[in-house]
Chain A
Amino acid sequence: MGSTGQHGSEGVGRRELIKRSAAIGLVAAPGMGLLSACASSGGDGQDKAKAGKKTAKNPLGVNDTAKLDFVLFDGGFGKEYAEDAVKLYEKDFPKAQVKFSATQKIQSTLQPRFNQGNPPDLIDNSGAEQMDMGVLVGKKQLADLTPLLDAPSYDDPSKKVRDTLRPGIVEMGQFDGDPVWILNYAYTVYGVWYSQKALDGLDEKYPETWDDMLKVCAKAKKKGIAGWTYAGKYPYYLPFSLYPMIAKVGGREVLDAIDNLEPNAWKHPAVKACFEAYYELFQKGYILRGTPGLDHIQSQTAWAKGKALFIPNGSWVENESANVIPADFDLAVSAPTGIDSSDKMPFGTIWASGGEPFVVPAKAANPEGGMEQLRVMLSEASSRNFTSKVKSLSALNGGIDGIELTPGLKSGVAALDKAGDNVVNPRIPDWYVQLEKEKIGVGGLGEMMAGRLTPAETVKKIQGFADEAAKDTSIKHYKHK
């Protein structure tokens, strides 16, 4: 008798356990193996559809009987806007079959298909499982979208698609040289988000210089409101207002040098001045207590409840936090506060750029169809449909006439108008994802704003990360033209 006796003379079985350890503990290794099985089985992929005849109505030469395979990221914007656009495509090409699917798991769904060489014709490569664009471009997996950009626009044949887009959309699709690999369908305004009502309650306007910013925060503190909060667990939200501030203080070239990973780019005095300004918020106790332990949803909720005045964020916050933002909140966005009147760029300098990146794979069976679907989406009607459904601007310049804009969206449009040409577009977040999020964001800015690093130490640490990335041969490097 006895519980252990039953296992026989070997006890629990030493070898059995080691075997089990190999089997259970290393889910990772065999998992990678199963995935890798895809790579070796990859053939030449599927047969390409024959291109159709180019006509005025069909400028891209879509084969009107070819199937179209469209995979969409089903995220903050939902899938309705794309389904509506698919209906328009089907109306133009009644004989074509469209296979539309929406998923949150872009990479797990599509990675095997890329490895086998039969990817879909159009992909919205977005979300937490976004496939690394740098790698896709570097491995020549994407089609050049230049034919689409040079095609006449859907609404006005005398205008090219290229000329109907908002500033920065075309450049954002480029990595190195002329080809355009990505078309960002949404247009995001980044900056400092706040409640106009809360600011009115303090009898203050949005501050344009840092001294004013500190004054507003001091006033708020007396009323028991924190000046700032941010996504502490994802400190890479801080750059949404910090990067344009750096550009405002030191000029665009400072950001370009940072993007290009130039030596000592972070040691520019403007960077240090902005870091010190933000650090002062921490030192004076203007940051909501506990912020470094909050994630983006938690910090947005605290901010929407009025516990903090300002939060650096992107224009998706209006849709994402819709259920916690009170009806009379009067959501507004502003370009970042600068240091003082000696700044190189005027107040209003803002970061705005494309979001929701669409790509057509190089090995797609029907690349013309994929591009045509994008051309449909860039029509006035589709764009308006998108804006009214998801509270975000689209890449199409204009296309908001006749819709009632929500407060945040309205304020975003006004900020863009005020900025005029002073729109900056830092590329580090899409060129070097790991460097931006983990190293600069979490390792540098997050530590500084939690008070664990001084601005000088932060500059040094981040410069070290950037130098490391510049030397790393396992990642592809890009430069501004």
Chain B
Amino acid sequence: MQHGKYGFITGFLAAPLGLYALFVIWPFIQSIYYSFTDWTGLSPEFSMVGVDNYTRMLHDDIFWKSLTHSLLFALLLPLVTLGMALFFAFMINVGGRHRKGGPVVTGVRGSGFYKIVYFFPQVLSIAIVALLFAFAYNPDSGAINSFLRGIGLDSLQPLWLGDPSLALWCVMAVLVWSTTGFFVVLFSAGMASIPAELYEAALLDGAGRATTFFRVTLPLLWDTVQSGWVYMGILALGAESFAVVQIMTTGPGGPDYSTTVLVLYVYQKAFRDGQAAYATTIGVALLVVTLAFAAIVMRLGRRERLEY
């Protein structure tokens, strides 16, 4: 019966593996192949040029700027987003004071309402969010500067997206705004499944909010936080950062390249400048960065599992 079993497994695996190879692995291999050519993307003719594209990339200032910004996105965004999400989730689920007759572990007053409010931005498509904020950042008639004028700060009228030293932070703030809610809900779900006895025991021992958070909640939530970190980092390297940068800081990626990111640069080279081969080269660099990011986070995040 042994070979019968293998036949059975192979039969089931063949189709998905084949699809995976065809639609995931093969395009990767092709991309790497095309990064060694001078293909324009606008004609079927091309020839091999060796590592020319790679040498060019290493001497390309805009590539390095894009890489720096992409790395900033991948490191800072998860830090801020997850940090805020953890804080909010903790306050919603655990941080409340004990009220007479109520459960021992509870969130702050109105926590159910907060949970919904935090999740709101998640319902909107990232393109809509980016557009809304592009209007809000309008230095002439946007909501933010109008508010500043309204409270008497007439002299303080930053250019926001028009200022190279602010533009990148403006874009990042939008991503934080739009993704925090998702992680609040994710962490809330994680916290809900931590046994209440552990909190009761901690409270009996006289632990305050901070101690409870760092000694009980965070360690038991560690796996969720870690996968959230990788997920957020990949979003920040890929699709989300592309959408906000492309929509909000139109042009080449902000004033004086202040917000350009790797994905945007790939897109511009392939679909604006007719340099598809060079675009695939940058795509390969992005692949390396993303894999390295995931590997490092998994490696640093490794710690002993707690059973409960």
Contact = CB atoms under 8 A, between A and B. Distances in A.
Contacts of A135: 40, 42-43, 273-275
A290 B139 contact: yes
B139 A294 contact: yes
Interface of A: 1-5, 7, 11-12, 14, 17-18, 20-40, 42, 107-108, 111, 114-117, 129, 131-132, 134-136, 138-141, 232-234, 288-295, 298, 302, 307, 433-434, 437-438, 441-443, 446-447, 450, 452, 474
B278 A18 contact: no
B286 A28 contact: yes
Nearest to A107: B271
A424 B267 CA distance: 33
Contacts of A292: 139, 159, 162-163, 255
24 contacts: A3-B189, A4-B220, A17-B227, A17-B298, A20-B234, A21-B230, A28-B262, A28-B266, A30-B24, A32-B266, A33-B26, A36-B33, A37-B30, A40-B30, A115-B43, A116-B44, A129-B271, A233-B162, A290-B139, A290-B159, A292-B139, A293-B162, A437-B252, A442-B255
Nearest first, the 8 closest Cβ-Cβ pairs linking A and B are A33-B27, A293-B162, A290-B139, A42-B44, A135-B274, A292-B162, A30-B27, A132-B274
A257 B157 CA distance: 40
Interface string B183-212: 000000110111100000000000000000
A447 B256 contact: yes
A25 B140 contact: no
B238 to A, nearest CB: 4
Contacts of B249: 233
A63 B298 CA distance: 66
B96 to A, nearest CB: 21
A36 B43 contact: no
Contact of A27 (B44, B238, B294): B238
Contacts of B31: 29-30, 32-33, 36
Contacts of A23: 24
Tell which of A114, A131, A135, A293 has the most Cβ of chain B within 10 Å: A293
Nearest to A307: B140
B295 A28 contact: no
Contact of B193 (A2, A136, A294, A298): A2
Given A17-B230, A29-B31, A32-B279, A115 B162 contact: no
B255 to A, nearest CB: 6
Tell which of B41, B56, B224, B284 has the most Cβ of chain A within 10 Å: B41
B172 interface: no
Given A2-B308, A12-B223, A14-B298, A29 B42 contact: no
Given A24-B234, A290-B162, 13 more contacts: A11-B223, A25-B238, A29-B280, A30-B28, A32-B27, A32-B34, A33-B280, A234-B250, A289-B139, A290-B139, A293-B139, A294-B140, A441-B251
Contact of A139 (B34, B43, B270): B43
B169 interface: no
Contact of A24 (B44, B238, B255): B238
Contacts of B134: 295
Contacts of A434: 252, 272-273
B232 to A, nearest CB: 11
B244 interface: no
Tell which of A7, A108, A115, A443 has the most Cβ of chain B within 10 Å: A115
A438 B41 CA distance: 21
Contacts of A108: 271
A115 B41 contact: yes
Interface string B289-308: 01101110010000001011
Contacts of B28: 26, 29-30, 33
B276 interface: yes
Contacts of B213: none
B114 interface: no
The prevalent SS among residues of B at the interface is: helix
Tell which of A14, A21, A25, A234 has the most Cβ of chain B within 10 Å: A25
Interface residues of B, number: 85
A131 B278 contact: no
Given A36-B34, A132-B273, A293-B137, A3 B230 contact: no
A293 B194 CA distance: 48
B226 interface: yes
A21 B44 contact: no
Contact of B43 (A17, A40, A141, A298): A141
A21 B255 contact: no
A438 B238 contact: no
Nearest to A298: B138
B54 interface: no
A442 B163 contact: no
B124 to A, nearest CB: 20
A232 B290 contact: no
B64 to A, nearest CB: 15
Tell which of A28, A34, A36, A447 has the most Cβ of chain B within 10 Å: A28
A14 B249 CA distance: 35
Contact of A29 (B162, B164, B256, B284): B284
B283 interface: yes
Contacts of A2: 193-195, 220, 308
Contacts of B130: none
Contacts of A7: 223
Contacts of A22: 24, 287, 290-291
A446 B161 CA distance: 13
B272 A433 contact: yes
B277 to A, nearest CB: 9
Contacts of A437: 251-252
Nearest to A441: B251
A26 B286 contact: yes
